[in-house]
Amino acid sequence: MNHLLQQLKDVRAEGCITICLNTHRTKPDYLKDPLLLKNLVKEAEKKLYELLDKRRAKSLAERLHQLAGRIDHSYNLESLILFVNTDISEFVRLPVQVTDRAVVDHTFATRDLVRAIRKQAEYYVLVISRDQVRLLEASNDRLVSEYGSPFPLSNKSFYSTDKLALSMAKGTDNLVEEFFNQVDKIVQERTKENSLPFVIVTEERNRFHYEKVTDKNRIIGHLNQNRDGDKAQNIVKEAWKIVKKVNEERIRKRKQELRDAVTKQTFLTDLNDIWRAVNEGRGQTVFASKDYFQPARIDNGVIIPADELSLTAPGFVDDIIDDIIEINLKYGGDAVFLEDEMMKKYNGVALVTRY
């Protein structure tokens, strides 16, 4: 998803189509999803013909229909987003709910993609014993994959047949740490391209020895169990309980960050103040309600809230919040999506500034 966001976020072109819809994971519910998509495609097509010349609208509508026709709804998650323009034709399934909508603008509507990336926890699960080590990749409570060769790594080299050595705790510890050191080098090499955090699944005595030879900063939790022979998905479900608590603590800290900014008066809630600040690179974090969308016109740099009746008006933007988030990310800022109830007092959006 990060790669797709990078591809989309800087696109500025006429006729960028974004379709967002809630979907279903299981049958028979997912059988309803194609009809909703069909209706949203029709809505987007109508907007295309209102905004563009007939030839260009027809070409983009055909690309949109082709993309929609390729989707196998039996693989749906909580939502589905389609992105289409002259050069791009992509869809992505997301593990978050969205607002059903069809958008035609000069940019793609990426806020739900950003929200999913922020909400989705991707991590590794390292299953360690003194006999073997397994490496899993997970996303929330789902197994993404279990690494193959050279995994599972078997301890074939670091055993001793010396009875005296084995009777001494120090000798046993040295052998264990030698094995874990070899394991860690391979793990770090295999995960360097995707530097995610780790949950360690092992008995406490093994955790102590592994943490002596690895970078502890990447470890976010420990499951004190021996799960050598367990199914990978079962292990991930247990590891997710740990990661979920870590995420909840992270969100708690982000909420406190907003409260602190209010105390220090380093925050903005007026849309035009926020717009100027992010365009000047002064934005640190955009806090937004996940369900707050604001159509608007931009007239000489001034945001004028509007509605979809203004679709053909010069400077019309389908969702100014989406544009604010994209610009803030471009300048190295961040975005946090919170529940609607907390964001009410800020009218749906607030910006914590750098200064």
CATH 3.30.960.10 intervals, the chain = 1-120
Length of the chain in terms of residues written? 355
What confidence score (pLDDT) does residue 191 get? 93
The helix/strand count (H/E) of the chain reads as: 11, 17
pLDDT tens for each residue of 115-130: 888 777 889 999 999 8
CATH 3.30.420.60 intervals, the chain = 122-249
Q: Which residues pair with 138 in a beta bridge?
A: 123, 143
Q: pTM of the prediction?
A: 0.75
pLDDT tens for each residue of 46-83: 999 999 999 999 999 999 999 999 999 999 989 999 99
Domain at 266-355, CATH homologous superfamily? Ribosomal protein L30/S12 (3.30.1330.30)
pLDDT tens for each residue of 24-38: 989 999 999 999 999
pLDDT tens for each residue of 199-258: 999 999 999 999 999 999 999 999 999 998 899 999 999 999 999 999 999 999 999 999
Supply 271's token pair.
């849309």
CB neighbour list of residue 252: distance below 8 Å, 6 or more residues apart: none
Q: Does pLDDT of 169 surpass 60?
A: no
Q: Does pLDDT of 181 surpass 90?
A: yes
What confidence score (pLDDT) does residue 164 get? 44
User: CA angle, corner 77, sides to 74 and 80, nearest 5?
Assistant: 95
Phi, psi for residue 209 in degrees, rounded to 5: -75, -35
Q: Does pLDDT of 161 surpass 50?
A: no
**Alpha helices (H) in 70-203, listed in sequence order:** 111-119, 163-167, 169-191
Q: Which residues pair with 103 in a beta bridge?
A: 18
What confidence score (pLDDT) does residue 310 get? 67
CATH class of 1-120: alpha beta
CATH 3.30.1330.30 intervals, the chain = 266-355
CATH class of 122-249: alpha beta
Check the CA dihedral 263-330-338-44 and report its sign.
positive
Q: Does pLDDT of 157 surpass 80?
A: no
Q: State how far the Cα of 271 lies from the Cα of 276, in Å rounded to an integer.
A: 9
Q: Which residues pair with 3 in a beta bridge?
A: none
Q: State how far the Cα of 50 lies from the Cα of 53, in Å rounded to an integer.
A: 8
Contact 210, 204 (CB under 8 A): no
Contact 117, 139 (CB under 8 A): no
What confidence score (pLDDT) does residue 163 get? 47
Give me the percent of the chain exceeding a pLDDT of 70.
94
pLDDT tens for each residue of 128-140: 998 899 999 998 8
Q: How distant is the alpha carbon of residue 309 from its chain centre?
A: 33
